[in-house]
Chain A
Amino acid sequence: MANDLALSVKDLKTFFYTNKRCNKALNGVSFEIRKGKTLGVVGESGCGKSVTASSIMQLLPRLSRIEEGSITYHSERGDIRIDELERDGAEMRSIRGEEIAMIFQDPMTALNPVYSVGFQIGEALQYHTDLTKKQRGERVIELLTAMGIPSPGERAKQFPHNYSGGMRQRAMIAMAMSCNPKILIADEPTTALDVTIQAQIFNLMNKLKSENDTAIMLITHDMGVIAELADDVAVMYMGNIVEAGTVDDVLRRPQHPYTRALLDSIPILGRGRDQDIKSIRGATPDPYERPKGCQFAPRCDFATDACEVMPTEEAVTDTHRVMCHRYKEIFENA
Chain B
Amino acid sequence: MLTFILRRILITIPMLLIISFLVYLGLELTPGDAVSHMISPDLTNTVTEEQMAAMRESLGLDKSFIERYWSWLTHIVQGDFGHSLSGGVAISTIVLDRLPATLELSIFALVFSTIIGCVLGLLSALKRGSATDSALTVVGMLGVSIPEFFFGLVAILIFALNLGWLPVGGRLLPSYDSYWDHFPNIILPGLVLSLMMTAGVMRYARSAMLDSLSREFIRTARAKGLPQWRIILYHAFRVALTPVVVLIGFRLPTLIGGSVIIEAVFQWPGIGLEFIGAVRGSDYPLVMSIALLSVLAVLLASLIVDVLTAMIDPRVRLG
Direct contact of A and B (CB under 8 A): yes
Query: In the complex, A257 Cα to B231 Cα: how many Å?
Result: 45
Chain A: interface size category: 20 to 34
In the assembled complex, B280 has its CB within 8 A of some CB on chain A: no
Offer 15 A-B interface pairs, CB within 8 angstroms, sorted by A.
A59-B219, A59-B223, A88-B222, A88-B228, A97-B225, A104-B223, A111-B217, A112-B221, A112-B235, A112-B238, A113-B315, A123-B230, A127-B224, A159-B314, A175-B224
Taking a contact as CB atoms under 8 Å apart, the answer to whether A98 and B314 are in contact is no
Min Cβ gap A112→B in Å is 4
The interface bits of chain A over 82-126 (1 if a CB of B lies within 8 angstroms of the residue's CB, else 0) are 000000100011111110011010100111111100001001100
Q: Hey, which chain B residues are within 8 Å of A95, CB to CB?
A: 225
In the assembled complex, A207 has its CB within 8 A of some CB on chain B: no
Query: In the complex, A97 Cα to B227 Cα: how many Å?
Result: 12
In the assembled complex, A326 has its CB within 8 A of some CB on chain B: no
Taking a contact as CB atoms under 8 Å apart, the answer to whether A97 and B223 are in contact is yes
Taking a contact as CB atoms under 8 Å apart, the answer to whether A97 and B313 are in contact is no
Taking a contact as CB atoms under 8 Å apart, the answer to whether A113 and B314 are in contact is yes
Count contacts on B: residues with CB < 8 A to the other chain. 24
Min Cβ gap B317→A in Å is 9
The interface bits of chain B over 230-253 (1 if a CB of A lies within 8 angstroms of the residue's CB, else 0) are 100011001100100000000000
Query: In the complex, A112 Cα to B231 Cα: how many Å?
Result: 11
Taking a contact as CB atoms under 8 Å apart, the answer to whether A109 and B215 are in contact is yes
Query: In the complex, A253 Cα to B314 Cα: how many Å?
Result: 53
Residues from 207 to 221 in B contacting A, C-beta threshold 8 Å: 215-217, 219-221
Q: Whose C-beta in chain B lies nearest to the C-beta of A175?
A: B224
In the assembled complex, B295 has its CB within 8 A of some CB on chain A: no
Query: In the complex, A111 Cα to B314 Cα: how many Å?
Result: 13
In the assembled complex, A57 has its CB within 8 A of some CB on chain B: yes
In the assembled complex, A128 has its CB within 8 A of some CB on chain B: yes
Q: Whose C-beta in chain B lies nearest to the C-beta of A102?
A: B223
Query: In the complex, A176 Cα to B318 Cα: how many Å?
Result: 29
Q: Hey, which chain B residues are within 8 Å of A97, CB to CB?
A: 223-226
Taking a contact as CB atoms under 8 Å apart, the answer to whether B314 and A161 are in contact is yes
The interface bits of chain A over 51-69 (1 if a CB of B lies within 8 angstroms of the residue's CB, else 0) are 0000001010000000000
Q: Whose C-beta in chain A lies nearest to the C-beta of B222?
A: A59
Q: Hey, which chain A residues are within 8 Å of B223, CB to CB?
A: 57, 59, 96-97, 101-102, 104, 176
A110 with B315, Cβ < 8 A, contacts A94-B225, A95-B225, A124-B225 known: no
Residues from 286 to 319 in B contacting A, C-beta threshold 8 Å: 312-315, 318
Taking a contact as CB atoms under 8 Å apart, the answer to whether B239 and A114 are in contact is yes
Taking a contact as CB atoms under 8 Å apart, the answer to whether B225 and A110 are in contact is no
Min Cβ gap B100→A in Å is 36
Q: Hey, which chain B residues are within 8 Å of A96, CB to CB?
A: 222-225
Query: In the complex, A123 Cα to B234 Cα: how many Å?
Result: 11
Min Cβ gap A126→B in Å is 9
Query: In the complex, A282 Cα to B291 Cα: how many Å?
Result: 67
Taking a contact as CB atoms under 8 Å apart, the answer to whether B239 and A112 are in contact is yes
Taking a contact as CB atoms under 8 Å apart, the answer to whether A113 and B239 are in contact is yes
